[in-house]
Structure 1
Amino acid sequence: MCYVLRKKPRQEEMIAEYVIQNKERFYRLAYSYVQNPDDALDIVQDSIHKAITSKTLKDEKAIKSWFYRIVVNTSLDFLRRKKKVTVVDDSTIQLHMSGHEDHYTDIDLHQSLNELVPEYRSVVILRYFEDLKLEEVAEILDLNVNTVKTRLYKALKILRVQMDSEEAN
């Protein structure tokens, strides 16, 4: 059986064009949540499908925050389904066995980020890894700007404590 999607062709084209122009950003955002290239690609693909079949984009000027929200929610859904099953790849094992101290800070940061609750992790990723303004983060997560500031402050405080304790060990 074949289903025909009824959506304004112009809006569909606009979504496709926007996604194509920003595909690396969306991949990077998904990857920052799942830390796996294949899963990140799946999340971006699922997000594109959701965007094209969705009827929730009311204002075309809000496409940026609208699609970011889709990618963030799809990433969080994926993590909930996956229940944080972590597979260690060969390069990580080699890094730990080789004694390269200079890479540990990056590994510690990623581990510390993954330990944050999703509400804090999303704010940190969008603000610092995606370089979005606080207002944009608030719009994407559908939060008040002050709530974003509070979560960001608390997340950075937690990360600082975690990173300091890792350095001490």
Structure 2
Amino acid sequence: MKLLSLSKDLKEKKLKDYIVKNKESFYKIAYSYVKNEYDALDIVHDAICKALSKIDTLKDTDNIKPWFYKILINTTTDYIRKNKKYIVVSDDVLEDSKIDYDKYSDIDLLRAVDSLDEIYKTVIILRYFEDMKIEDIAKTLDQNISTIKTRIYKALSKLKIKIDIKREDG
């Protein structure tokens, strides 16, 4: 019994350390979906609470990244489903934002990623913005590796088309 609680305490400590080190990445992912600072903060807070309450389901602390990202993405998806009341904000408002970490250097790329279907958007964000390995993405999304590779390939194809169209228009 004492060994089990020690294990739980160790998991909690590793989780807390991981959260502190990566909180901005979590915020960026949530923000990329909801485009609202306060909603993104709520999502991250909820995901952290869920992770702490489900710490017993973490079997190996080496898998903390895919385990937490799965919770974060599911929390984000649930939040979006429950709150389908988003207002489209003009680009001027977004560009006037004073928060540096809400801005990305390539706005066309972000718009293109944002316009993807959720299954493609998620794999692109995890792979290229969060630098996750394909195996970790597969664990996070409960999919097999070949499915993830196919989704990444399709998403990149769609992004190339959208960005090429933008260049032709611009």
Amino acid at match of 1:62: N
Contact 1:47–1:71 (CA under 8 A) maintained in structure 2: yes
Could you tell me which residue of structure 2 aligns to residue 82 of structure 1? Answer: 83
Letter in 1 for 2:112: S
CA contact under 8 A between 2:127 and 2:133: conserved in structure 1?
yes
- Root-mean-square deviation (CA, aligned residues, Å) is 2.5
Is 1:31 aligned to residue 31 of structure 2? yes
List per-residue Cα deviations over 1:3-49 (Å, max 9, x = no partner). Answer: xxx99333322221221122122122222222222221111100000
| Alignment correspondent of 1:133 | 133
Q: Distance in 2 between matches of 1:42 and 1:63?
A: 21
| Contact kept? 1:76, 1:118, Cα under 8 Å | no
Provide the C-alpha distance between the structure 2 equivalents of 1:43 and 1:93, rounded to a whole number of angstroms. 20
TM-score by length of 1: 0.78
Segments ≥4 residues shifted beyond 6 Å: none
- How far, CA to CA, are the matches of 2:28 and 2:69 in structure 1? 12
Matches within 5 A, 1:21-100: 21-54=21-54, 55-83=56-84, 85-88=86-89, 91-92=92-93
- Equivalent-residue separation in structure 2 for 1:78 and 1:89 (angstroms): 22
Other-structure match for 1:121: 121
The more displaced of 145-154 and 129-138 is 129-138
* Paired residues, number: 155
- Distance (Å, rounded) in 2 between the aligned partners of 1:32 and 1:19: 18
Q: Which runs of 5+ in 2 are unaligned?
A: 97-104
Percent of paired sites with the same residue: 47
Q: Which runs of 5+ in 1 are unaligned?
A: 1-5, 96-104
SS of residue paired to 2:106: helix
> Partners of 2:130 and 2:14 in 1: how far apart?
22
Distance 1:93 1:123, change over 3 A: closer
